[in-house]
Amino acid sequence: MDLYQELCGILGKENVFTKEPMSRHTTFRAGGPADYFVTPEEEGQVRTVLALLKEAGVPFYVMGNGSNLLVGDWGYRGVILQICKKMNRIRIQDAVIHAQAGALLSKIAAEAQAEGLTGFEFASGIPGTLGGAVMMNAGAYGGEMKHVLTRAQVLDPTGEIREVLAEEMELGYRSSVFSRKGGVILSASVQLEPGDPSEIQKRMEELKIQRTSKQPLEYPSAGSTFKRPEGYFAGKLIQDAGLRGFQVGGAQVSEKHCGFVINKEQASATDIRSLMEQVSEKVYAQFGVRLEPEVKLIGDFS
């Protein structure tokens, strides 16, 4: 039995795609085809598929909403598992939100507001999933996942599903024990506080105005492209290096916010990666500060 048939046997044919263009599944709107693209519907399927792939020696990558990902123009040789559209259930009990890893942060924030729960407003405009947010300790406007996260259900590198408490996650700036040592987030719980729904909505609207006025949301991008160097701001360094509007092919350093690389004119993934590399080199040459990508790069670029 070939890999396609085995994947269909586990997930159902409707959840297995071949030669799937990754430009359809990343917010950069760039990237070539994955050999296999699968959309598991529940935690047990994730475990079974990954066990199969590990035993067969097939490369794989687990993604969420594709909001922090760049796939090479020649695609990905292996299997990409998308934990997003099919694993996104949300349940609220008292002031705790329990959600599967594929739940969008914006959806969680909206449900929290409707229930009169405050503390998750910071994440309302982050275009990612809960799983990715836990993995990278996502944050914005003074809030971070580590401030609200209590526990997560994780498929560890040995193939065991276990519960991990927040204090065990080693949550730091855009990092966690999972991003360093491996593991797949399957679900998580966040602890919020009772609040006034109208005040929560007002705060979310304020943050939306800040984002739309300062960020180039009208173009495809992956949000902040580079990590914040200690003691600096990436966007300020890029601006001071004279790189506002700097362009490689269809990729551009945003004129609105220099911390964003945007797909301005049908950029290829190679355009985007080349621009990122050149920006990093130019900033280092001028200021001696090395910008590291916050965006994950996978697949074949040549």
The two three-digit tokens of residue 257, written as one number: 């916010």
| Mean pLDDT for the chain overall | 96
- Give me the residues paired with residue 268 across strands: none
DSSP 247-271: EETTEEE-SS-TTEEEE-SS--HHH
Q: What is the pLDDT of residues 185-213, one digit of tens each?
A: 999 999 999 999 999 999 999 999 999 99
Per-residue pLDDT at 71 exceeds 80: yes
* Pair of tokens at residue 66: 């594709």
Q: How far is CA 29 from the centre of its chain?
A: 14
Catalytic sites, residue numbers:
174, 224, 294
Per-residue pLDDT, 200: 98
Task: Please report the pLDDT score of residue 1 as a whole number.
Answer: 59
Contact 294, 139 (CB under 8 A): no
- pLDDT recorded at residue 144: 96
pLDDT for the residue 85: 85
pTM over the 0.85 mark: yes
Please report, as a single letter, which amino acid is at residue 242: G
